[in-house]
Structure 1
Amino acid sequence: MTASSTVARVGLDAIALKPTECNVSAAASLPIETIAIDYEGREHLPDPDALETLAAEAEVRVTTPVRADGFDPLGDASLVADLPDSIGRVLVAGHPAYLTDAERSRAVAPRLGRAIEADPDAWVGTESVERIAMATGGTQYDLLSRTTDRELRALRAAGFDGEVAVYAPTVLTDDDDAVLDAVGDYVARRQSVAAALPDGAATDANASGRAREVLSKAARDYALVGTEAAVREQTDALREAGATTIVGYPARGLDSLRS
C-alpha cells in the first residue's frame, strides 16, 4: 500500500466488496493488502478463477455462512471445495435474507466450531453471535456501532489479546445528502435506528425533519464518514481502542478510493 493512496491516508487496512455492486476483479488495481468479499447469495459468488487472479494481488477472504448449503461443515460443504487454496474465509452465521427457512433453523455454534477447526486462520463474524464467535478463538469480525469503542476497550482491559477486525461502510464526504444516499438504508436497518425513525420515513437524501436528524447521527455511529482527515481520526481512534484491522466498504463505489 502506497503512503499517498486514499486507503492509506484514511487508515484502512482492508476493503470489503459486494459482488452485486461491482466486478470484484476491478479491485486488483487498488493499493490494498486485504480484500473481503461479502456474501449476497450463492448465485453471486465470484468465479474461482477471478478469486485466484485477485489473490495474486492481495490477501482475499470470502464470507461464507456456515448455515448455508454449500458451506455447511455439518452437511453440504461442496462450495468450500471450490474455493482456491489461496482464498481465506470469513465465517458467519449468515444473514437471514440470504438463507432458506431450513438453513435459518440450523444451529450456529456447532457449525462455527467445526468450520474453525478446519480453517483456524478464518475470521469469525460476530453479528448476533458475539459470545459464540468469541469462543472460537478466531479473529473477531465486528460491525462498527456506537458502542464499538467502549467494547474494544473493555475487551482489552479484560485481557483479550486476539485479533479484532472492524467493518464499516466508508463515505469520504461530509455532504449530508451524499452520506444519506450512500448509507441511509444501511443504518436504517440497525435495530435502534429503525425504532427511532418515523413510520414510512425516507432514508436517503430525501429524508427530512426527525428522520434526517436520526439518520445523520446514525450514519456517523455506524459508518466512517467525513473528509479524509476526519475518517483518519476515526480509524486511529479505533486502533487506539484495540482494533487490529479496519475494513472499509466503499459505499460510494470503488472509484471513491482510487486516488
Structure 2
Amino acid sequence: MLTTSTVARAGLDAVALKPAECNVERATSLPVETIAIDYEGHDHVPDRRTIEALSADATVRLTTPVRADGFDPLGDDSLAAELPSGVERILVAGHPAYLTDDERDRAVAPRLGAALETAPDSWVGTESVERIAMATGATQYDLLSRTTMRELRALRAATFDGDIAVYAPTVLTADEDAILDAVGDYVARRRPVAAALPDDGDEDGDRTVTDSRATGRTREILLAAAEDYTLVGTETAVRERTDALREAGATTVVGYPARELEAFLE
C-alpha cells in the first residue's frame, strides 16, 4: 500500500467500486494495488477498454455471478470469455435482485467448481453460500458483520490457513449524519438490525427513516449497527478496525466508498 494515501492511512488493502454509482474509469487515480468491481447487472459491467485502463496500474477483480447468463461456466459464459487476460475474478452466487427467475434456480456448487477450474486464483463470495465457498478452498470473500472477528479467530484456531478477504462499506468521517446518509439504509437491511428497529420509529410514509433524519432509538440502533457492519469514522479509527481484522485473521480488507469516491482519491 502507498503509505501517504488516504486509503493506506485507513488501512485498506483494496477498494471496491459499484459501477452503477460512480464512473469506474476515475478509479485509475486510486492509490491502491487492488480494485474490485461489484456486479450490478449486465448493463453496468464496465467495457473492455475501461477494465484494461484500470488494470494498467492495479490488479482488477471483477465480480461475476456464476448463475448469470454470460458468466455461467455450465452454460452461457460469453462475457467471462471476453474479459481481458489480466483480470482476476470474484465468483459469487449472485444477488437475486440482479438475476432472472431462471438464473436464481440454477445450482451454485457445481458452477463454482467449474469456474475455479478455469480461474483458479479467483476469490469466492461467501454470502448465503458459506459452506460451499469454504469447501472450494479458494480465498474467502466475506461481508463484514458483527460476528466477523469471532469467526476469523475461530477459523484460524481451527488451522484454516487460506486467505480471507473482508468487504465493508466504508465512510471516512465521524459525522453521524453523513454516516447515516451513506450506510443507514444498508445496515437497516441486515436481519438482526431490522428485527431490532422499533416499530414506532421515524416514519416516511410506510418506511422507517434510516438516514440522517432518524432520531431516538432508531438512530441509536443504526449508528451502533454501522460500527458492526461497516467501517466508519476518522482514518485513524478505521485503521484501528482494519488492523484488528488482520490481527484476527483477515488477509485483505476491501473498502467500498459508500459516501463518495473522492474521499478515496486523496
Alignment TM class, shorter chain as reference: over 0.9
Letter in structure 1 aligned against 2:256: Y
Equivalence for 1:66: 66
What letter corresponds to residue 105 of structure 2 in structure 1?
S
Q: 1:258 Cα deviation (Å)?
A: 2.1
- 2:239 aligned partner: 232
Is 1:131 matched up with 2:134? no
Structure 2 partner of 1:91:
91
Aligned-residue sequence identity (percent) comes to 74
In structure 2, C-alpha distance between the alignment counterparts of 1:258 and 1:81, rounded to whole Å: 31
- d(CA) in 2 for partners of 1:69 and 1:209? 45
Paired position in structure 2 for 1:176: 176
3-state DSSP of counterpart to 2:208: coil
Q: Partner amino acid for 2:162? A: G
The 5 Å alignment of 1:1-259 reads 1-199=1-199, 200-259=207-266
How far has the Cα of 1:78 moved from its partner?
A: 0.8
In 2, the alpha carbon distance for the partners of 1:2 and 1:159 equals: 31
Tell me by how many angstroms 1:218 deviates.
Answer: 0.5
Note the alpha carbon deviations across 1:42-79, whole angstroms, 9 max, x for none.
01100011101110110000000001111111111111
2:146 is paired with a residue whose SS is coil
Name the aligned partner's letter for residue 118 of structure 1: T
Specify the SS of the correspondent of 1:156: helix
Question: For structure 1, which runs of at least 5 residues remain unmatched after alignment?
Answer: none
Amino acid at match of 2:113: G
C-alpha distance in structure 1 between counterparts of 2:238 and 2:4, whole Å? 15
How far off its partner does 1:2 sit?
Answer: 2.3
Cα distance in structure 1, aligned partners of 2:39 and 2:191: 21
Task: State the distance in 2 between where 1:83 and 1:93 align.
Answer: 19
Letter in 2 for 1:223: T
Query: Alignment length, in residue pairs?
Result: 259
Separation (CA, whole Å) in 1 of partners of 2:91 and 2:188: 25
Q: Output the CA distance in 2 between the equivalents of 1:56 and 1:183.
A: 31
1:188 deviates by 1.1
Distance 1:192 1:105 in 2: 27
State the one-letter code of the partner of 2:111: R
Structure 2 CA distance, aligned partners of 1:208 and 1:100? 38
1:116 Cα deviation after fit: 1.0
Is the deviation greater in 52-61 or in 198-207?
A: 198-207
Moved over 2 A (4+): none
Question: Residues of 1 paired with 2:126 and 2:47: CA distance?
Answer: 26
